[in-house]
Structure 1
């Protein structure tokens, strides 16, 4: 009995100051504040600038900057320059070693945390502002969009590769009885390939001007199996469809909340469905924001992969294309199993 008591007492010895893990202290400090937890919750959905976070949380800029610094020191957030602005996002890569399990569990707990209705409302206003910014651009530049887009990545450069990846992925399957949705069909070029592969094609765009151009392309090429919807990934009509394939070509960098769009796509896809996205890799050509209406300067492949796998997708094939103008294009396949 004396031996057991001594053993029990030994396990209660306090940790000496020189034995404390500095990384663990920094890590725990980062999670030990309600506002920082709310910031991590918001940044799990999207990237935001400091001023946007100030508006969302109705907090002073100095306070938000202070909290972001603490989170960054713990490796929980990272920042990225988009033109003249700096955006913060929650880090996808967890800490290596002994803290990785703790970080994963804390992230799961943060995901379960409900934001207050007022924060959700202000978050929605920020996202609506981004949507309007994109819609205004396409309303005023629909006739010149193709010309602007060719300066970055012409359809001829990626269209064939994207089409071949989709066709090869559905070979041996009864794809002619399936339904494919293209979000943001642009001027409609890719609809011809989809129309030949699938029985039903649905084209969705939140710009009436761009949707009209896609409809004109379909008429001129006698594509009679296409339905057109004015809206976005949250349109209720998508929930009524049995969608086997969903495609986004050079669209994601125009949307206000890429991660949320990918989640929307996962929800409407059939089990066994496939999501194909063609996108720019990260670049530093900020002129595209004014000339092409881009909200984001491309995406790291790891970001697209993390957003997709976080909602349940499995990564499939990937194709990367380099251009002489310096822009790199990624064509990605994600599976809903």
Structure 2
């Protein structure tokens, strides 16, 4: 038993704090486990959890996928959230639902975490139906189309808008430093996804024998081409498309670089999966991204879909793609944003 007393007041009463009752703790744990099992004991809710493996979705998006009214879908999501099988993610005025961010290491000693991990592993063993996958693809393609339209319309304002959040100089040097700690076999190849106006290509060009510049907005890719020509960067190959196109083309790289792009991507977890497929053995994925924030004005001004990401979220997506963190740098900015520079590599070579 622990006691607390106010030694400055001799008349103060001694307050006793009883030790936790192991019986009560065990009972609470059993109640928690029962709630998890009860929430997961419904076929529809299990299907919702399977869909959430593909990313975060709003209640209207999920209602459309399952052809049900919003109140009914809201009820199921509320049950999943209460049980810890799902959680909310606020993006400005919108609320998305996702699977909880759970450390991917073994959950020894934590019964709730072990149960949730086991449940997710079990329901992920079989693929979604073709019809459901088409519905997911349609939503993510619509997001990508809206993002691409924004950049095609605002390509000439890209730098000014981006630097409202984080100036290129703040994260370029840490990125280069993390690249220089690697010893790539020659010839070495880099692939930058979303090069913007091409500034970082000037850093990659002397470090690699060949550099791919990949962008799904033709106007942005044209600006990168003009930058490379003006700075005489002869080893850049430009590719129009997204990471899925790069995979289909069979591109391979020793380093995949994704600078301030992930918050514009319709399916961030999918980008991790594609990046892992694009890596040569021993390669790295280098990501510069905002940590999660609440400054919703960036959605209108900068075309952001997501308001940054928790560091643990990136780690979980990386682990799901067979990648492990190798190094990281966090940079706090005076405007309230924080930038994370993360380097991931194949788990197999750790």
Taking structure 1 as the reference length, the TM-score comes to 0.90
Query: CA RMSD of the aligned region, Å?
Result: 1.7
Flag the 1:286–1:314 CA change in 2: closer, same or farther, 3 A. same
Residue aligning to 2:3: none
Tell me, yes or no, if structure 1 residue 52 matches structure 2 residue 61. yes
| Structure 1 unpaired stretches of 5+ | 1-17
What is the deviation of 1:102?
Answer: 2.6
| Structure 2 unpaired stretches of 5+ | 1-26
Q: State the alpha-carbon separation in 1 of the partners of residues 91 and 112 from structure 2.
A: 31
Alignment of 1:206-245 (within 5 A): 206-236=216-246, 239-245=249-255
Tell me, yes or no, if structure 1 residue 42 matches structure 2 residue 55. no
Residue aligning to 1:147: 160
Alignment of 1:106-121 (within 5 A): 106-121=119-134
Task: Give per-residue Cα distances to partners, 1:283-323, cap 9 Å, x unaligned.
Answer: 11100000000000000000001100122101110000011
Task: Give per-residue Cα distances to partners, 1:60-81, cap 9 Å, x unaligned.
Answer: 1111111111111111111021
Alignment of 1:50-89 (within 5 A): 50-89=59-98
Residue aligning to 1:334: 344
3-state SS, counterpart of residue 330 of structure 2: strand
Alignment of 1:1-337 (within 5 A): 21-93=30-102, 97-170=110-183, 173-174=184-185, 176-236=186-246, 239-336=249-346, 337=349
Per mean C-alpha deviation after superposition, the further-off stretch among 24-33 and 183-192 is: 24-33
Higher helix share: 1
3-state SS, counterpart of residue 303 of structure 2: coil
Contact 2:52 / 2:99 at 8 angstroms: preserved in 1? yes
Task: Give per-residue Cα distances to partners, 1:28-56, cap 9 Å, x unaligned.
Answer: 11111121111111111201111111111
Instruction: Return structure 1 stretches of 4+ with deviation > 4 angstroms.
Output: 236-239
Q: State the alpha-carbon separation in 2 of the partners of residues 129 and 300 from structure 1.
A: 24
Per mean C-alpha deviation after superposition, the further-off stretch among 274-283 and 59-68 is: 59-68
Taking structure 2 as the reference length, the TM-score comes to 0.87
What is the deviation of 1:134?
Answer: 0.2
Per mean C-alpha deviation after superposition, the further-off stretch among 108-117 and 150-159 is: 108-117
